[in-house]
Each structure stands twice: as C-alpha cells, then as structure tokens.
Homo-oligomer: A and B are copies of this chain.
Amino acid sequence: MLRLTPPGFRRLLQAETFEAEYGGAEANVAVALAMWGEEAKFVSKVPANELGQAAVNKLRRYGVDTGSILRGGDRLGIYYVERGADRRASNIVYDRMNSAFACSEAEEYDWDKIFEGADWFHFTGITPALGKRTERITQTACEKAKGKGVRISCDVNYRSKLWSEESARAVMENFLQNYVDLCITNEYQAKELFSAPREQVAEYMSRKYSLGLVAFTYRKTFDATHNMISGAIYDGEHFYRSSEYLVEMVDRIGGGDAFAAGVLYGIGNRYTLEQTVRFAAAASCLKHSVEGDCCLVDKEQILQLADGGDLAQVKR
C-alpha cells in the first residue's frame, strides 16, 4: 500500500504535499525481520505500473525477498495518515478497495515455491478483512503452509473501518481454531471479538483455540503522542510480561507490527519466551521513535533496551 502523510502535524485539509511511503501490516513485519538479518519474503500482488514497482522497491531496499510478488490488477491500495498531536487523534483514511491484491485469486500464487524453505507464515486479520477473495487466499495459504510443516502466526489486527465485529469473529475463529500456532492480539480484541472473560484472557484464548502461543500487546493512550505500551506471551502454562514503556511517539503506525516481528525473531532465534517478549516489546517501543511504518532499528539497540540498558545517550 501507498501511505500518504501530510508533513509535520498538518491536517489533510492543509496539505499541499504528502510524504509518500509504501507499507502495510505484513510488509512491516517483513522489513523488520530483514533489518535484523532474517530471510523474509513478502507475498502480494501489485499493479504492473510504476507505483507497484515503487512498492516492490521499498521492500527490496530494506532487504525483503520480493520474488514472489505478482504484477497485475488495477491499483495499489492507499491510506492517508494524519498525524495527531495532544488531544487531536491521528486519523487514517483508507482507500484500499479494489487493490490489485484484494482482487487477486488464490490460484494465481505459486504456493509451493512461496513456502519452500520457510519456517513461519505470518498474516494479519487485515488480509481476510479485504473481502472474500483475500479470505480464500489466506485460507489456501494456511492449508498449504500447514501441509508443508510451516508454522503459522496471526496478528488479529481488527480494523473496524474494514469489517464488522461479526464478520471478523466468524472468519478469524476459523483461522485460529484450525491453523494458527502463534496468535498475536490484545485484550480488547480478545474480549470483544472472541468473548474472552474479564479475567484469564490468555488462558481462555489459548485453550479455546488450542493455540501454542498467544502474545498480547497492551497500549494505554494518554494523548496522540504519549502511550504506555508493553507485551506479554502465554504458552499455555506461564505468562511472561515485558517492561512497560511510556513512549513519546514520532510515528505510531507499525508499533504492533514491530512487536509481531520481535516475537517471530525471538522464537526463530531460540530465545526464551522471557527474552522473546522483552525483545518484542523493546522493538515495538523503539519503532515509535522512527518515522514511517517500519521498525528501522538495529537489533543491537533493541537488545540493549530489552536488557534494561540506557539507550538515549548520544553516541560519539
């Protein structure tokens, strides 16, 4: 997707220019993992024009494997981000209907090649939210991944501007129940979408959907630039929590994707779950200090913060 953002704190009504960047939930996860030295492949379909190519180039720039991205279709999805400040909330306007990806069919993708050598398949709830076609793509991908022994990670990522809670519940329950090994969500989604009780949310999710791992993000919003964030992982037995970070945000978008990437990185590198959740929360914390969607932060800085180090000294 193309992200268009007015400069500084300008509102859309005031914008004479837009900062242009290419991102999206799954793409952000891929970029973060590539930044940290992992092999990450991004699968999608972009139009066969310069905008599609620019989106591909953004991913290549940060080291993501773009060899499985299809070309064709009508358009690249767009979203507009208006940065909030103080009590004025950030605002996102989606214009992603009929995107090349949303209109693509499961059969267009060469799943065998896509999953060759893969350890994990990661998707978010935004993908099936785009329509029946992408729901089918997700379903096909899950089946193929399952069949090849590729583990499946899902970030619930509920977006009320894309689908209703009812639709989301029906579709996501199917995925969680039947395919997902690692589910990333938050308390609100667990309770509202999946009817988790007030207490024991993690246990409920874990048991109800037979999830190997459930990871949670927590966010308290004080105002448009100050949030308190943290994370947790539950493995069916123990509950591991990260530190809480009060962050003064440069760019809020992609904070959850950085957490997801951090969880996958920790697990993939055989960190303990304790270390994993600390790494993921530190990655998410530091993402908020970076402009754009992507967690362009070095692994070393994240580890230093995760280990309680004092990061903010000028390095010179």
| A-to-B contact residues, CB < 8 Å | 4, 8-21, 49-51, 53-54, 57-58, 60-63, 74-76, 78, 80, 82, 84-95, 97-98, 159-161, 221-225, 245, 247-250, 252-253, 285-286, 288-292, 296-297, 301, 305, 310-316
CB distance from A65 to the nearest CB of B (A): 11
Nearest chain B CB to A12's CB is how many angstroms away? 4
Q: Can you report 6 residue pairs joining A to B where beta carbons are below 8 Å apart?
A: A12-B51, A50-B82, A78-B78, A89-B312, A94-B316, A161-B316
Supply 14 further A-B pairs (C-beta < 8 A) apart from A17-B17, A75-B97, A86-B249.
A15-B54, A18-B20, A50-B93, A51-B80, A57-B62, A86-B312, A87-B311, A88-B301, A90-B315, A94-B316, A159-B316, A221-B310, A224-B289, A224-B311
**Contact status of A93 and B285, CB under 8 A, knowing A19-B16, A221-B313:** no
Copies of this chain in its oligomeric complex: 6
CB-CB under 8 A for A89 and B315, given A19-B17, A20-B16, A250-B9: yes
Measured CB to CB, the nearest residue on chain B to A74 is: B97
By a CB distance below 8 angstroms, the chain B residues around A60 are 60-63
Q: A88-B286, A98-B97, A313-B221 are in contact. Are A13 and B248 (CB under 8 A)?
A: no
Q: How far is the CA of A97 from the CA of B11 in the complex (A)?
A: 26
Name which residue of chain B comes closest to A224, CB basis: B312
Q: Are B75 and A10 touching (Cβ within 8 A)?
A: no
Contact of A85 among B12, B85, B250 (CB under 8 A): B250
Supposing A86-B250, A94-B316, A286-B87 touch, asked if A50 and B13 sit within 8 A by C-beta, the answer is: yes
A305 cross-chain contacts in B, Cβ below 8 A: 87
CB-contact partner of A88 in B11, B160, B223, B289, under 8 A = B289
- Residue from B19, B76, B90 within 8 A of A314 (CB atoms): B90
